[in-house]
């Protein structure tokens, strides 16, 4: 079974600074997808960013970007110019791709990020 | 409003009772999922469904029953609730018709079993 590891249970960052959240995963597959989800105190789950393993270019969404290191099985999330509204729990998730047997998303345990004014 | 709706938002029940959590989506997404969220465990998949009348077990299915008689509804039933089932439950649907597509989540149901 695939596993997703988020080694930082909690992190904090000053407003306007940059922070990087770590995620590693374990798979023998070559075709898969990786995701970052954000869960603010409202409990709503929001997709932040998605990366397809066959794409070498790192995904970017406004202030959010990833550093995808396929050989190292690492998928970190960088948040630039942190804002108070970024305070949330962040979950990394993995799923196998079409040619690898398509599976539902498997989530890591989460990293609680606090942005400090 | 279009979206995915869970009810109730909060529920307290007693050990041994049967309880059903409701999930309704208006997009006609084929795939639907139930996850539970527990501190220190993240989100774990309970059951999922590829279409009406098709369901599959996830990582933690024991003690739960699901049904999918209509595409838009995917209720989760705890047949005899236990304290270990105290959790926040999330229903989700898959926007691209694939099991590994980005998920749209409901707002969750916080269930407390006393």
Put simply, the answer to whether A91 touches B43 (Cβ < 8 Å) is yes
Predicted pLDDT at B99: 61
Interface list for chain B against chain A, based on CB atoms closer than 8 Å: 33, 35, 40-45, 48, 58-59, 88, 90, 92, 98-100, 102-103, 105, 107-108
**In this complex, is the C-beta atom of A29 within 8 Å of any C-beta atom belonging to chain B?**
no
Put simply, the answer to whether B108 touches A47 (Cβ < 8 Å) is no
Going along chain B, which residue ranges are E strands? Answer: 4-7, 10-13, 19-25, 32-38, 42-51, 54-57, 64-66, 76-78, 87-94, 103-105, 109-113
Mean pLDDT confidence for B69-93 = 96
Chain A residues with beta carbon closer than 8 angstroms to that of B3: none
Predicted pLDDT at A75: 97
Grade residue B68 by pLDDT with cuts at 50, 70 and 90: very high
The residue of chain A nearest to residue B50, with distances taken between CA atoms, is A104
Q: Quick count: other Cβ atoms within 10 Å of Cβ A90?
A: 24
Question: Which of these, A90, A109, A101, lies nearest to A33 by C-alpha position?
Answer: A101
Measure in Å the smallest separation between the Cα of A85 and chain B Cα atoms.
18
Predicted pLDDT at A2: 77
Mean pLDDT confidence for A90-105 = 81
b/e code B12-31 from CB counts within 10 Å (16+ = b): ebeeeeebebebbbeeebbb
Question: Is the model more confident about A96 or about B61?
Answer: B61
Predicted pLDDT at B21: 98
Q: Which residues contact A57 (CB under 8 A, 6 or more apart)?
A: none
Put simply, the answer to whether B108 touches A91 (Cβ < 8 Å) is no
The residue of chain A nearest to residue B45, with distances taken between CA atoms, is A106
Burial tier of B53 (Cβ tally within 10 Å: 0-12, 13-18, 19+): exposed
Please give the Cα distance from B38 to A15 (Å, whole number): 29
DSSP state of A70: T
Grade residue A85 by pLDDT with cuts at 50, 70 and 90: very high
- The answer, yes or no, to whether residue A100 has pLDDT greater than 90, is no
Predicted pLDDT at A89: 97
Chain A residues with beta carbon closer than 8 angstroms to that of B98: 98, 102
Question: Is the model more confident about A99 or about A112?
Answer: A112
- DSSP state letters, A13-41: EETT--EEE--EEE---SSEEEEEEEE-T
Put simply, the answer to whether A102 touches B100 (Cβ < 8 Å) is yes
- The answer, yes or no, to whether residue B14 has pLDDT greater than 60, is yes
Computed over every residue of chain B, the mean pLDDT equals 93
Computed over every residue of chain A, the mean pLDDT equals 93
Put simply, the answer to whether B99 touches A110 (Cβ < 8 Å) is no
Count A/B contacts: CB-CB distance under 8 Å. 52
Grade residue B22 by pLDDT with cuts at 50, 70 and 90: very high
Mean pLDDT confidence for B45-49 = 95
Put simply, the answer to whether B99 touches A106 (Cβ < 8 Å) is no
- The gap from C-alpha A59 to its chain's centroid, in whole angstroms, comes to 11
Predicted pLDDT at A101: 62
């Amino acid at each position: 079974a695939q596993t997703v590891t988020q080694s930082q249970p909690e992190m904090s960052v000053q407003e306007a600074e940059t922070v990087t959240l770590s995620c590693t995963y374990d798979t023998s597959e070559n075709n898969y997808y990786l995701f970052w989800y954000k869960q603010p105190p409202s409990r709503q789950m929001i997709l932040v960013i998605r990366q397809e393993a066959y794409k070498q270019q790192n995904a970017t969404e406004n202030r959010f970007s990833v550093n995808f290191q396929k050989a190292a099985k690492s998928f970190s999330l960088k948040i630039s110019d942190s804002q108070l509204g970024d305070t949330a729990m962040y979950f990394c998730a993995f799923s196998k791709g079409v040619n690898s047997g398509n599976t539902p998303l498997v989530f890591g345990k989460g990293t609680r990020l606090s942005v400090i004014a | 409003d279009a979206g995915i709706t869970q009810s109730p938002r909060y529920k307290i029940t007693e050990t041994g009772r049967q309880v059903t959590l409701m999930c309704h989506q208006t997009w006609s997404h084929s795939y639907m999922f139930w996850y539970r969220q527990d501190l220190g465990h993240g989100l774990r998949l309970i059951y999922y469904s590829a279409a009406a009348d098709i369901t599959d077990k996830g990582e933690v299915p024991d003690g739960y029953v699901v049904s999918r008689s209509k595409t838009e509804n995917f209720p989760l039933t705890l047949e005899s609730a236990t304290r270990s089932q105290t959790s926040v439950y999330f229903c989700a649907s898959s926007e691209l018709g694939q099991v590994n597509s980005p998920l749209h989540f409901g707002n969750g149901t916080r269930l407390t079993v006393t």
